[in-house]
Amino acid sequence: MAGLAEADAARMRQALAAGRIDEAERLAKRVLTIRPAHAEARKLRAVLAWRRGDAATGLQQIRRAAASAPQDLEIGGIHARQAMEAGLFDEAIAARRRACARAPSRPRDIDLALDLLAAGRFDEGWAQHERRLPDGAPPTDSPLFAELARHKRPSWDGSAADGASVLVMGEAGFGDMIQFARYLPLVAARAARVIYKVMRPLGRLLKAAPSLAAIAIDDGPADVFPAFDRWVLAMSLPHRLGTGGDLLGARCPYLAADATPATLGGAGPGRPRVGIVWGGSPLQPRDPLRSLPPDHCAALLSRPGIEWHILQRGPHRAALPELRRRLAARGADPAALVAHDGEVDFADTAALMRQLDLVMTVDTSTAHLAGACGLAGWVLLSTVPDFRWLGTGADSPWYPSLRLFRQPAPQRWDLVVDAVHAALAQRFGV
């Protein structure tokens, strides 16, 4: 019988590799009738159940797989993700800890840190997140940080640095750089000079912020560094400053939109004006989960009585013609969709957003921009969003002006759209 199970398992792998998913699942079930502890077959059933939106079955299957193969790091990772999705933070974090104990690595340390932060365990999460820095030195997995390492300056530990200049390196994407800018005034209180190195599209916005008047904003070439005595990565600031669970939400707004009216266009007053961003950067590994698929986006934008202003930037903007086609097929008013220049910087985007009644966005930099400027924003989230949105709740401790709309089950954007439509009717009467 064992030989039969292994033969079926081999055929299961072949079917999966060829994309014959139904056949692979049928073979997995047959393997499990002979060998209930076959971890690979359990894993396949768990993943396929999750893809269908059956989170309960997926979690049940991956738990059994993890019990059969506790040494399998891939199964442990799937177990952690599915437990997080179910809101079982303790179970997810325990799975992450086991993986870190069996095979310590920087990616696994970061996964554990992000799950701790998503669960609201900030003190431990920020401390664990420091493990992304090997021996406290800059990571060398990008040219930017490799250049930083060549300067051979010590890192800043958060203590008073009288007479010293501290270079704060913007880390990760645009949204992260906006989010962690709130900590810069605290750094300035402990150092003689603070320089914040960011990507150019953020420069004008940050330089104009009154709350950052004491900060030197460096938006020049990535590989050209100003003179500095010590350095720190922006996402290390909560730990180095010792702020823990105080996410400084009370400091919002700490950025300001230009008071000079931007050219808004559209039909003019009469209908609520709502900005929309449906996609993030495709370079982000989780982008397929966080970005709104075209059919659901069209369903959202077909809501009558709203003037939608397109704030989408980057590659996802290419979906605009297809969205217009889908909206026309639904009989939606084409004048209700107002496109804006997708190549403007963040200062221009903020000026546009300031004139809108509401900004609606998936989990991307636009959400951070709205929140940091204190503008009303609704953020549409997948079942397991990025750590900063935590695992539950409709409010954000990072940004008090934002409201969160979460998928109640995997890939159920339709339910998010229904909830948003109901909220639009309540807010605007449309």
Query: What's the pLDDT tens digit per position in 51-75?
Result: 887 888 999 999 999 999 999 999 9
Query: What's the pLDDT tens digit per position in 108-119?
Result: 999 999 999 999
CA 218-219-224 angle, to 5 degrees, is 75
HSE at residue 37, side-chain half, CA atoms within 13 A, is 5
DSSP 246-301: ---GGG---S---SSPP---SS-TTS-EEEEE----TTSTTHHHHSPPHHHHHHHH
pLDDT band for position 393 (50/70/90)?
A: very high
Pairing of β 307-310 and β 337-339:
parallel
Query: What's the pLDDT tens digit per position in 162-197?
Result: 899 999 999 889 999 999 999 999 999 999 999 999
Tell me the domain boundaries of the chain.
Answer: 37-134, 143-251, 273-428
Mean pLDDT value across residues 251-266: 79
Nearest CA to 36 out of 60, 10, 11 is that of: 60
Q: 3-state SS of 59-110? A: HHHHHHHHHHCCCCHHHHHHHHHHHHHCCCHHHHHHHHHHHHHHCCCHHHHH
Pairing of β 273-277 and β 191-197:
unpaired
Question: Whole-angstrom Cα distance, residue 224 to residue 218?
Answer: 10
Superfamily, domain 273-428: Glycogen Phosphorylase B; (3.40.50.2000)
C-alpha distances out from residue 38 to 17, 21, 57, 65, Å: 19, 18, 17, 7
Nearest CA to 337 out of 381, 288, 304 is that of: 304
Residue 337 parent element (H or E): strand 337-339
Give the pLDDT of residue 425. 96
C-alpha distances out from residue 313 to 14, 39, 281, 306, 419, Å: 40, 43, 9, 21, 25
> Average model confidence (pLDDT) for the chain?
91
With a pLDDT cut of 70, the percent of the chain lying above it is 97
HSE at residue 271, side-chain half, CA atoms within 13 A, is 20
Write phi, then psi, for 320 (nearest 5 degrees): -60, -45
Residues near 32 by Cβ (< 8 Å), separated by ≥ 6?
38, 41, 42, 45
Kindly report the number of other CB atoms within 10 A of residue 25's CB atom: 20
Residue 25 · residue 57 · CB < 8 Å: no
Query: What's the pLDDT tens digit per position in 152-163?
Result: 899 999 999 989
Sign of the Cα torsion 372, 374, 375, 377 reads positive
Pairing of β 377-381 and β 358-362:
parallel
Q: 3-state SS of 174-220? A: HHHHHHHHHHHHHHHCCEEEEEEECCHHHHHHHHCCHHHCCCEEECC
- Extract the tokens encoding 232: 């720190």
**Higher pLDDT among residues 211 and 332, named by residue:** 211
Mean pLDDT value across residues 365-393: 95
Q: At residue 1, does pLDDT exceed 60? A: no
Query: What's the pLDDT tens digit per position in 310-357?
Result: 999 999 999 999 999 999 999 888 778 898 876 779 999 999 999 999
Question: Whole-angstrom Cα distance, residue 154 to residue 166?
Answer: 10
Q: Which residues pair with 338 in a beta bridge?
A: 309
Q: 37-134: what CATH class?
A: mainly alpha
Q: At residue 411, does pLDDT exceed 90? A: no
Question: Whole-angstrom Cα distance, residue 346 to residue 359?
Answer: 14
Q: At residue 224, does pLDDT exceed 60? A: yes
**Higher pLDDT among residues 173 and 359, named by residue:** 359
Question: Whole-angstrom Cα distance, residue 169 to residue 177?
Answer: 9
Residue 161 · residue 229 · CB < 8 Å: yes
Based on its alpha-carbon atoms, the radius of gyration of the chain, rounded to whole angstroms, reads 24
DSSP state of 171: -
